[in-house]
Amino acid sequence: MKDIKKDFESFAEDSSPAGSSFVLNKINSTLQAELPSPWKVAGKLGIAHTVATSVTLASCSQFGVTLFNTGHDLMHSFMNISETFCHSLCGAYYLAATFLLARMILNREEWLVLLKNRTLSIASLALVSLGVFSSLSHEVTWESALLWFFGAALGAELMTVRKQALKRLLHDI
C-alpha cells in the first residue's frame, strides 16, 4: 500500500507538462490539418456570389446594370417603399442572396471559417461589386454608393447572424 502511495505522491509532484502538452499539440495539429483552407472557402464564396449575382441582376437592377431588360423589376418595388433608401434595399438584397446561397453551399466547418472572417468577406465582396457596378454604369454617385454599401453590408450581416443572437435582438425590440 505504501508503494502505491509513494507512486501517487511522485506522480502528483511531477509537474512536467510534457505528456499533456504533447497531447494538446497533437490535437491542435490534427484540428489545423482538418480545417478547411480559407482559399477553398473564398473560392466557394466566389461561386456563390457569381450565381447570386446572376439571380439578383435578373430580378433587380443595380445602378442600371441588369441581365434582362424586362422593364419593371424589384427595384421599382423598392422605389415605391423609399426612393431615398432604394439603393440600400437593392444592396441588401444583392449581398443577402450571396450569403444565403453560400450558407447552403458551405459545410459547417467552412461556414465557421467564413464567420471567423465575416467582416473581411462582407467588405471585400461589397467593395469589389461596387467597383464593378461603377465601371459598368455611370449612375453610381458618392451618395448612392454609400447607401448601397450600407445596405449590402447590413443584408450580408443579417444572413450571418446566428439564430440565438437574432432571437435576442428581436426580443429586445
Residue 166 CA to residue 12 CA, distance in Å, equals 47
Radius of gyration of the chain (CA): 25
pLDDT at position 102: 93
- Looking up cell 435576442, which residue turns up? 168
Same domain, 13 and 47: no
Predicted TM-score (pTM) of the model is 0.73
Query: Do 150 and 118 reside in the same domain of the chain?
Result: yes
For residues 71 and 124, membership in a common domain is answered with yes
Count the domains in the chain: 2
Distance, in Å, from the CA atom of 164 to the CA atom of 173, rounded to the nearest integer, reads 14
Residue owning grid cell 441588401: 92
Same domain, 145 and 75: yes
C-alpha distances out from residue 152 to 11, 80, 144, Å? 59, 19, 12
pLDDT at 5 over 70: no
pLDDT tens digit sequence for 79-111: 778 877 888 888 899 999 999 999 999 998 898
163 or 122: which leads in pLDDT: 122
Rounding to the nearest 10 degrees, give the CA dihedral for residues 8, 12, 15, 19. Answer: 50
- In this structure, are 57 and 113 located in the same domain? yes
- Same domain for 78 and 162, yes or no, is yes
Cross-strand pairs, 65: 62
Which residues span the domain enclosing 13?
4-33
